[in-house]
Structure 1
């Protein structure tokens, strides 16, 4: 169930701020992402469930070519391509308040290797106070609790899954979260579920993931299939029954968010 504590704090401002639909929403992409998380075993390795109501876009800039590299669920990227902190974008098919803040998290459940993930989860980023601008880009000016650290899987490792999630930020996040995560907190053996419960983070509203291995000649192609590193095609492809189920779940969450916002806009 979508946790709305952070959302409810901001709902009274619905009539006081501009409202907008966040970009162009593609429901098939939502279905593919939901199915990809299940195929890649991100559910249950990172999340107990994943029922997104929005799409999270992630865009790296390849430092060698200065070209944009867009993340699609399960894409295999090189360490070089993922060296710089990416840009993030949020799109949805419902109108939400422009002032709602978001938390962004990047974790690696395969550290140090998928074959022996004794340091899982490794926290690559924990950012706060992100807001959506007029181009659907997530921007912020607050210091991250954990600055972005680029993927560096060790030699001999299979490709790692790097999971990127967006959450609606709880009202008291900036007072509770720094007590648990700060510059001196070890990044390894992080547990997103435990952290989320401690700060009332709730369920992610959007997410995606990519794969990165130690080889320097990785390309923008799909990874070869393995139990922990599924290919992009196998992650995105779903049986008709699986796709329908993911579509239904996503639709229910979206409808729930729409109804919640509508009710509170009438009240306030």
Structure 2
């Protein structure tokens, strides 16, 4: 019993650090947004302070860039947000949005289709709640045109400042899916802090036009990168691209390393006790 107690005390700080330190996860989502061209197509830069997760009924939690069918994402997902570290407090109200940034290389100069826009959402126990919020555009599942390639549907959570004011044309509820100048909306409404974001890809049929190539995100190399949020990576372990390859599980390398380290330490302690 004494040895077990010592082991628990020794591992407690290690386990706590693994559960609260999301530095590698933040690097991974930043890299995903760069390699998929969401930065700079939609956002000029991306430095989140939290991680956003989507859970669709029948699918479960999805990873950044995960290819899904329009049937799989037809119902409103459960949105959760996890602070990058203990210094990030998720209180107050937020704006939640989902926009269609089209396929990589598409011309979106005339705007992006709005599929979800809700003001005044709150975060309770990490879950984003819109029960008392204002749904400018209620969730409308992705529905890309057949043959137009894998569309990038980006879900974003912005902090609403006390000075927030919905711009002209966005004060009514129940507005349908429609093109919008998303950057102009963010600026004119006073949304300044993008807390977290993620994206999925949805494609209908086979692309009839050439889609711009993207590089892969290799999570096992992100911790070695000296550039914060760099999308440049080498190696062959878990990777994902914006054009439909199997997406990486953010932080997987760190998690596997952690489990391996704990297993080795546990084995060493057991051997010592047995001796």
Instruction: Give the TM-score of the pair, scaled to structure 1.
Output: 0.67
- Structure 2 unaligned segments of length 5 or more: list them: 1-18, 231-275
Give, in angstroms, the shift of residue 128 of structure 1. Answer: 1.9
Whole-angstrom CA distance in 2 between matches of 1:125 and 1:245: 33
Paired residues in the alignment total 206
Which residues of 2 match residues 1-268 of structure 1 at below 5 A? 24=20, 26-61=22-57, 67-92=58-83, 93-97=85-89, 99-110=91-102, 115=106, 117=108, 120-134=111-125, 136-140=126-130, 141-173=132-164, 176-177=165-166, 179-181=168-170, 182-183=172-173, 187-215=177-205, 226-227=211-212, 230=214, 234-235=216-217, 237=219, 243-247=225-229
| 3-state SS in 1 of match to 2:199 | strand
CA RMSD of aligned residues (A): 3.0
Whole-angstrom CA distance in 1 between matches of 2:185 and 2:128: 22
Whole-angstrom CA distance in 1 between matches of 2:181 and 2:136: 15
Give, in angstroms, the shift of residue 187 of structure 1. Answer: 4.1
Larger radius of gyration: 2
Whole-angstrom CA distance in 2 between matches of 1:57 and 1:126: 17
Q: Per chain length, whose mean CA-contact separation is higher, i.e. which structure has more relative contact order (CA < 8 Å, sep 6+)? A: 1
Whole-angstrom CA distance in 1 between matches of 2:112 and 2:34: 18
Closer, same or farther in 2 for the Cα pair 1:39/1:191, shift >3 Å? same
| 3-state SS in 1 of match to 2:179 | coil
Instruction: Give the TM-score of the pair, scaled to structure 2.
Output: 0.65
Give, in angstroms, the shift of residue 118 of structure 1. Answer: 6.9
- Structure 1 unaligned segments of length 5 or more: list them: 1-22, 62-66, 217-224, 249-268
Closer, same or farther in 2 for the Cα pair 1:60/1:241, shift >3 Å? closer
